[in-house]
Chain A
Amino acid sequence: MSLNTISYLIHEIKTPLTGIIGITEVALEEEDASKNKSYLMDILNCAQRISEIVGGLRSYSRITKKEEQSLVDIHKVLEDSLEMVRLGIKVTSVEVIKRFQPVEKIEANMGEIQQVFTNLITNAFQAMNGKEGRLILSTRSLKDSIEIKVSDNGIGIPQKHLNKIFDPFFTTKNPCEGMGLGLNIVYRIITKYMGTIDAESKEGIGTTFTIKFPTKGDGNGKESIGRR
């Protein structure tokens, strides 16, 4: 982690910490007890932000560790990830289309692959928030790799942001909604397995993420497909 990143994180933690201290000082002097609930809510929100930052860092650091690997069934992980996101977000107006073709299993850590799809599907649901959404999950087998696409018809990503979306701490969301590590974690996991990820997007039309994982015999990372 670079010094710039650490410096950024310190700022991200200091800001809600300032809120906690400042509001607590006010609350300690407050004579009107009916206002305390509002102060406590502020303190809780700030503490949750710090907790999210720490949680994000934990996920970020886990990727660098070598963990148990097995043959991972991509279709099962896609189904599980979708289910997990649906439970968390409770979106009902999204139509999910699955176009699964037979693909090889890949050797990887199941939890990490699930995190890739959970993050991508969560982003897709958030991008379709408030409209009749359509999520397409598709897989196919290529010569030396398997390809997975996650497409949505959400708000899309502005062209000027497309080359930054995998950078750590890049976010266009409200600071309370995320700290910009989700897609960086996706990118780091995929590249750990010599895979590639590519994003295509049009504002108002939607976004498609295309992931490729090398299958047996490949994986030397020489072909450049999308972002590495």
Chain B
Amino acid sequence: MMSKKVLVVDDEEVIRKFLRIHLINWGYEVKEAVDGVGALEQLGNEDFDFLLLDILMPQKNGWQVLEEMRSNPKTKNIPVIVLTAKDEDNDMFKGYTLGANYYMTKPFTNTKAQLLYGIQLMFGKNSESVNNINIFR
């Protein structure tokens, strides 16, 4: 089975690091971008199964990335989990309106359970993407 490919977009190295560790342990191939411009560049060059996307970033922010993704036929259907410290109702509403599939607010605790829930929501509980995940590892 080919591993699913995830793009992790966050300007904080340490946040990319622990997300990368979980995702690799679950069998995903992980690529990273440190800002919105880098994310869109990688999305143009490669195919991804889903994105973890920070919002407040230099160059282009996550909202801009999401908007551009949803208006581009190549990327409009790629599921996106938004990761952000913006935790007010109107921020979440904006995220879902722009096309986010799941919304995780920083600082998140029990990261693995939250990520799994987001992935289950995107692909379904019994999908190939979810079956390899053991959060009790």
Q: Contacting chain A: which of B14-22, B38-46, B61-69, B73-81?
A: B14-22
Q: Are B110 and A22 in contact (CB under 8 A)?
A: no
Alpha-carbon distance between A23 and B12 when the two chains are bound, in angstroms: 12
Residues of A within 8 A of B15 (CB): 15, 18-19, 22
Number of A-B contacts (CB under 8 A): 52
A26 at interface, CB cutoff 8 A: yes
B91-137 contacts to A (CB < 8 Å)? 106-112, 137
Q: Are B106 and A26 in contact (CB under 8 A)?
A: no
Q: How many residues of B are counted as interface, with CB atoms below 8 angstroms from the partner's CB atoms?
A: 19
Looking at chain A's contact residues, is the secondary structure mostly helix, strand, loop, or mixed? helix
Q: Identify which of A10, A11, A16, A18 contacts B108 (C-beta below 8 A).
A: A18
A181 at interface, CB cutoff 8 A: no
A68 at interface, CB cutoff 8 A: no
A45 at interface, CB cutoff 8 A: yes
Q: Are B137 and A18 in contact (CB under 8 A)?
A: no
A110 at interface, CB cutoff 8 A: no
B56 at interface, CB cutoff 8 A: yes
Q: Identify which of A10, A11, A26 contacts B18 (C-beta below 8 A).
A: A26
Q: Are A14 and B112 in contact (CB under 8 A)?
A: no
CB-based nearest A residue for B112: A25
A29 at interface, CB cutoff 8 A: yes
Residues of A within 8 A of B110 (CB): 25
| 23 cross-chain CB contacts under 8 A | A10-B85, A11-B56, A14-B85, A14-B106, A15-B12, A15-B85, A15-B106, A16-B12, A17-B107, A18-B15, A18-B106, A19-B14, A21-B108, A21-B111, A22-B14, A22-B15, A22-B18, A22-B19, A23-B18, A25-B110, A25-B112, A26-B22, A45-B14
